[in-house]
Amino acid sequence: MTLDSLEKFIGFQGWSMFGITPFEKIRKNLKKHEKFFEEWIKKDYQADMDWLELMKKDRFHPERVLPGIKSVIVLGAVYSDSGAMVKRWRSDGGQPQPLHISSETREAQQMRHHRGVVARYARGKDYHKVLRKKLIELSDFLKSRYPQAQTYASVDSGPTADRALAEAAGLGFFGKNTCLINPPRGSYFFIASLMTDLELPETPEKPMPACGNCRKCIQNCPTGALAESGKLDARKCISYLTIENKGPIPVELRPKIGNRLFGCDACQACCPFNAVLPSEVLIGPLKPENGAGDSLDLKGILSIESDEEFAEKFAGTPLMRAKRRGLLRNACVAAGNSGNKELVSYLEALIRQESDEMLREHAGWAIDILNLNL
């Protein structure tokens, strides 16, 4: 199979970028990241995500999930529709020159006090399902030419170190915010990978810049979760606290969450590589108008009375990950930080109707904060 035929099919599917690398070439890279991961675990930075350590062997040893693996196709799909912007890159390969203020800043300025912000990646349909379907189509394309071929598809949920594979395949470099950054597309993109036992043509290597002395992501993290270069303390990370975390949000961190309802883009929004982004067409289901959108009315969230009502509103979107309990907890925190006294009655109604002690406590905290800000 030629690289040209693969590129045409991948382009037809709507992917923004791709790279192909032989498995033997990435063994060293995976070993480096495995050591980094072990050090991260020793610091307890994984919070209560114990499943990460349980998947360690498979994550960094893909031959365990696909014996005979020879090649990996790594693909990226942008999820941030930044609009038309002019690209201007430094001739020395350094950081791009920002021509516009961050679109995240504009969004924050436009948000009303009764709305909660949804992280960019979660505004459309659940990317796991959308992109996995495309990986299966790509796998079928390979098998139509090589019927005996074996493949293994991963979209950020299986036991696969997707970012490490993407780095090895030339899709980007690891930033100090732990995100993979791809000049000129920044870091607002999903990563998916398809392993195969076929020997596929390798894509040409591309020189990559680096963060250099820039520390904007570390300085702009609201909770100080970026403890050091390239290491994220999930126990403080707003994305973890509002999505993966099933318990209460620490009281001392609640004021720093602001009106973030689900996830956080702070360490990406301030990144110079995201200051100037090319205009790209998003894969249809990933567009905000096909999912939860960029923000949600806190009054509406606080009024969701059942799991069934929650599922009816958010089925097929990433917000299902938090479940009703988690999203209402987050809405209470956002309401407390809003300064909007109109939300007090909704919080009081939640306390009257809700038996869950964690939700009652978060609602009570929010009421106290709002009453203090008379």
Q: What's the half-sphere exposure (Cβ side, CA atoms, 13 Å) at 306?
A: 3
Residue written as tokens 């696909």?
66
Q: What's the half-sphere exposure (Cβ side, CA atoms, 13 Å) at 56?
A: 15
How many C-beta atoms surround the C-beta of residue 299 within 10 A?
A: 16
How many C-beta atoms surround the C-beta of residue 149 within 10 A?
A: 14
Q: Structure tokens of 179? A: 């995100």
141 — alpha (psi -120 to 50), left (phi > 0) or beta?
alpha
End-to-end CA distance of the chain: 68
Residue written as tokens 């960029």?
294
Task: Spot the catalytic one: 156, 197, 294, 356.
Answer: 156
Nearest 5°: phi and psi at 190? -85, 155
Cβ-based neighbours of 372, under 8 Å, separated by 6 or more = none
Per-position DSSP letters for 83-128, written without gaps between them: -S------TTS-PPPP-S--HHHHHHHH--TTEEEEPGGGSSS-HH
Q: Structure tokens of 107? A: 């969004």
d(CA 74, CA 326) in angstroms, rounded, equals 32
Residue 156 falls in the annotated catalytic set: yes
Distances in Å between the Cα of 269 and the Cα atoms of 109, 265, 343 are 14, 6, 28
Residues taking part in catalysis: 156
